[in-house]
Structure 1
Amino acid sequence: MDQINVQNCDSHLCLTVYIITFITGFPANILAFYTLIHKIWRKPAPIDILLLNLTISDLLFLIFLPFKMQEVANNMFWNIDYFLCPLSGFVFYMTIYNSTFFLTAVSVERYLGVAFPIQHSLRRRPIYAVFASIFMWVFSILHLSIVYIMPYYNPSGTIPPSRNVCYEGFTDAQLQILLPVRLELCIVLFCIPLLICSFCYINFIRILSRLPNIGRRRRLRAIGLALGTLVVFALCFGPYNVSHVVGFIIKSSPAWRDQALLLSTFNACLDPFIFYFTSAAVRNTVGAMMRGIWGRSCCQCPKVFRSFRKKPPETEKHSLPKPPDITNAL
């Protein structure tokens, strides 16, 4: 039987990563969701539709993340209704691979836009992005259905599946099915998208660096986005998928598998940075919010200054020092 490897992950480390991901990723993705919905309602574009689906996937991941927090806080024992265990695991892993698909689709869209600008602009239709998104959701759901099925799979018929541990402690018969499936997930849902994403962004950078009619600032931002996306792709999803290959070779889950999974968790709060640099609508919304916050804080400044300039009551006039003149420091 496979060991409960997730217990090798320090509970404080796991809980810290989950909490940071949730409190930073949830509001950022809500903002991106609102902005992209508003943008698509006014003028839909393929890249906005792809980013919206990536946002929905991240939000779904974050909604189910508290179940993982509860599991870690309870010393990795599952003490709530068991049907939520395979469901939360299914959503947790499905949305991880959804991210690889949609990040790859965004890279293809951006590459085609610079490699074949005229042909792509004539043929690009929002409906194509809708069909592609539906295909990627269905493809990911079908592949990750194993996560939902496996906790209920009991080939021997004698040992009932454990109900106090979630998605761990698999029997040898279960591992005979699960380990090859994990290897297939690594190849189909990570390696192939990584190769496509790398090809698109490397050529995107190569083409963009030779275009003379693009400003330096805009060029550097686009190149930085491409390189940043590749780094996020490899860093967040690479170690976890390598654990699938190692697990297939040694016939059990490696002890560091769950530490690698923590890197995949971080992707939910890193994606909004990609949205910011990819979508002008998201940048405009963030800029408007910052200007609004700054404007409201500045509006309070005169009131604060006037409060300093008020004369103290007569009873305290001689006991309080004269307020400093801070207007010269503005």
Structure 2
Amino acid sequence: MTLQPTSVPDQNNTNGMDCPDPYDWEWLHNSQPVYILIITVLGIMFNAFVLMVFCFHKKACTVAEIYLGNLAAADVLLLSCLPFWAVNISNGFNWPFGPFMCKVVNLGIKMNAYSSIYFLVLVSMDRYVALVHTISHGRMRRPKYAKLGCLLMWGFGLLLCVPTLVFRKMKYLPEFGITPCFLEYPNLTTELFFDGMLIIFSFIVPISIITFCTLKIIQALKIQVIERLNAEKTEQKATKLVLAVLLAFLICWVPFHVVTILDVLLRADILRGCHLEYVLEICNQIFTYLAFFNSVLNPILYVIVGKNFRKKACELFKEWKIKKIATSESSRVSNLSSTLKTLV
């Protein structure tokens, strides 16, 4: 199973008399391009707004904001690639953009999946250090370390995309009369190996870290409430936003990863059954698009939950409004001065 809006029909699939046809999904394919275009437009606008606030505000970004800003950048990367898949689906799964774009577009989609979860790992660890290890967090939580951490996560995400760069290709399928862009491993052993490694490093490891940090963060927040500690109110506000973003990510992405794991077990013959295969193929389509919706949901959470973000956004727009008024006034005075000189 691959992280992409469409699946190429399995050339070796042989359904029995009682097995449903897993590719009779005209209703789903017809709705996919419209859905993709909607989330692309909304997601790029919302995430561009987030990046604008973080980048142009006069105050430097905090460590948590650096991580969330990189998360927004990863979402923009994903959303910029999705229209190509909308065209691909509308074109009957014939990939019209050539082999280079076949690799590049899927690289962008995969980079979002792998980098996003590790940015959330960094966010979780930052909140964990800030609330659980409050004495030492001043030395450990510095913006330059946060930027270095983000750079390393982008590099690690690119490393996880190596199978996409190597095995993603275009190939004419005469039995279907199309030339799709899909992953083609040399053999099943290689396919299961890479899929297993990706499941471990793109899901099990980061989710374990996030779960541990989140439980410790919630425990620390409860202790602060009980003991009425007010010194860390700023940290608590930032933590509530982070927890909301983490929850949204888990809701949107965990179903996809669970289906991916079940699909690997099916291809390894640990699980069997054509009805299970049919269900997993349907779930793969639905949960893939649920995962993509997370890129639209994150900026909405920043506005709804993030009090500090709303404050920064209001300050930025006020600053721009004042500059606009000052520029307009300066222009008016300049024009008046020029008029007076003409009269004299």
- The TM-score range, normalised by the shorter chain, is 0.7 to 0.9
**After TM superposition, which residue ranges in structure 1, 4 or more long, deviate above 3 angstroms?**
4-9, 173-176, 217-227, 273-279, 285-292
What per-residue deviation string (whole Å, max 9, x for no partner) do you get for residues 264-288 of structure 1? 11111122134444572x3124445
Given the superposition, is the C-alpha separation of residues 242 and 226 from structure 1 closer, same or farther in structure 2, using an over 3 Å criterion?
same
Q: Which runs of 5+ in 1 are unaligned?
A: 293-330
Letter of the structure 2 residue corresponding to residue 112 of structure 1? V
The change in CA–CA distance for 1:103 and 1:68 in structure 2 (over 3 A counts) is same
Match of 2:310 among 283, 293, 315: 283
2:180 to 162, 165, 168: 165
1:300 corresponding residue in structure 2? none
Q: 1:67 Cα shift?
A: 0.6
The residue type paired with residue 291 of structure 2 is S
Match runs of 1:223-262 below 5 Å: 225-251=241-267, 254-256=280-282, 257-262=284-289
Native 8 Å contact 2:170 2:181 kept in 1: no
Q: How does 1:6-45 map to 2 (within 5 A)?
A: 8=25, 10-39=28-57, 42-45=59-62
- Counterpart position of 2:199: 186
RMSD (Å) for aligned C-alpha atoms: 3.5
Equivalent pairs counted in the alignment come to 285
1:265 corresponds in structure 2 to 292
Q: What's the counterpart of residue 160 of structure 2?
A: 143
Q: Where in structure 2 are there 5+ consecutive unaligned residues?
A: 1-7, 12-21, 269-276, 320-344
Question: Is 2:46–2:296's contact at 8 Å kept on the other side of the alignment?
Answer: yes
Between the aligned residues of both structures, percent identity stands at: 22
- Distance of 2:169 and 2:118 partners within structure 1: 28
The equivalent of 1:301 in structure 2 is none
- Would you say the 8 A contact 2:63–2:143 is kept in 1? yes
Q: Are the counterparts in 2 of residues 201 and 226 from structure 1 also a CA contact under 8 Å?
A: no
Over 3 Å counting, the alpha-carbon distance change for 1:273 and 1:111 in structure 2 is farther
C-alpha distance in 1 between matches for 2:137 and 2:116: 24
Aligned residue identity for 1:70 = V
Corresponding position of 1:116: 133
Cα distance change, pair 220–42 in 1 and its aligned pair in 2 (3 A): closer
Letter of the 2:298 counterpart: D
Superposed CA deviations along residues 119-173 of structure 1, whole A, max 9, x for unmatched, are: 102332211112211111111101112112113499xxxx9xx9821115x46x3
Q: Tell me the amino acid that sits aligned with residue 23 of structure 1.
A: V
| Cα 1:279–1:47 shift into 2, 3 Å | farther
SS in 2 for 1:77: coil
Residue 203 (structure 1) aligned with residue 221 (structure 2) = no
